Amino acid sequence: MKIKIKSGVVKIKTKFMAALPIILFFLFLFYTIIMLFGISRVIMVSVIIILFKTNYRKCLTLKQLLILIGTQFLMALLSFCATLNLPLCILLNLVVPFLLVFLQTSQFNQMGYFANAMCFVFLQLRPVGLDGLVMMMGAMAYGLAVLSVALFLFSLKNRKTEDFGPAQKGLLLLAEALRQRMDQKREKSETGKVFQILQGLYMEAYKSRGLIYVVTAQGRIQYMFALLFQRAVYFLTNPYQMKTLADQDSGEVLGQLAQYMELAGKGGFNQDLLVEEGKILLERTEKRDEAAWVFTQNFLRLFLMILEDISQMDHKTVHTG
């Protein structure tokens, strides 16, 4: 009972600490906008807090911040135009949401349009007229200035070196889970940890996309690692592989793959030895088409592609430096 209570307290504390930056940002913006522009402009807070919530974990550049600010000003002006007369209101409310969904939605971020659409729709709910346009844009400028400072500070905090520590840890966990699977032991705890790393790598890949939804070199590698783990976990948790894994030859090749994973997890990814050993093992497994051998082939092919991308990324970094 005590353990459950402590676990619940830890979860609550973790969630609270994760939400704390959003809470503090909201309170500061809410009360300062009321003090400076009046309660009639407080609707701005709802729009800006969504922008903060969706971007404060990212590492944004100055250019990306400027694009973010410019887009919100454009949405504010379009929402103002939509309140001038009925034809404009109908036209803009048909065209703007369609363009936002078309331009800002992707398979990785299906709600990418939401913050901009929210700004466009919410600001129409309180028409200001020509006399109130300056005050509305002033409140928007203030809110976006606060947002820019906050996102810039968080970007400095989020900026990391090109580190693949989670991927290395995941390979070590996969090696152990693979050995346990071959020994017919329970591997749920190990594959569960790999699933957590898998989700983290997907998030890293998503954050690297920035505001223009283009994967960076770092993000591409993180995403490929996530696919690598996804396939491996699926193989490990497939109940139909039990008889296959009991085969001596399959067990031998999977044992070699586990050793290779361990070598990569402990030694890092900038080793010529990994490429050489990977190609030797791949050539050895291409002669058979059983499930364990096909899994090993697919794993090695994708991993060798990752090593090549890391090598190219390091070469570009040295060349530009």
Summarize pLDDT for 60-97 with one digit per residue, the tens.
778 778 888 888 889 989 998 998 889 888 999 999 88
The answer on 215 and 140 residing in a single domain is: no
The answer on 276 and 175 residing in a single domain is: yes
Q: What is the pLDDT of residues 177-221, one digit of tens each?
A: 888 777 665 555 566 667 666 666 666 655 555 444 445 677 778
How many structural domains comprise the chain? 2
The answer on 42 and 94 residing in a single domain is: yes
Instruction: Find the domain containing 127 and state its range.
Output: 2-158
The answer on 210 and 124 residing in a single domain is: no
The answer on 75 and 55 residing in a single domain is: yes
Domain final residue, candidates 109, 143, 158: 158
pTM exceeds 0.85, yes or no: no
Q: How far is CA 194 from CA 15, 20, 148, 149, in A?
A: 22, 28, 35, 36
Domain final residue, candidates 127, 158, 189: 158
Domain final residue, candidates 129, 158, 187: 158
Q: How far is CA 195 from CA 2, 13, 173, 202, in A?
A: 28, 23, 10, 11
The answer on 112 and 79 residing in a single domain is: yes
User: With 50 as the cut, is the pLDDT of residue 161 above it?
Assistant: no
Residue 131 backbone dihedrals phi, psi, to 5 degrees: -65, -30
Closest CA to 204 of 59, 309, 63, 310: 59
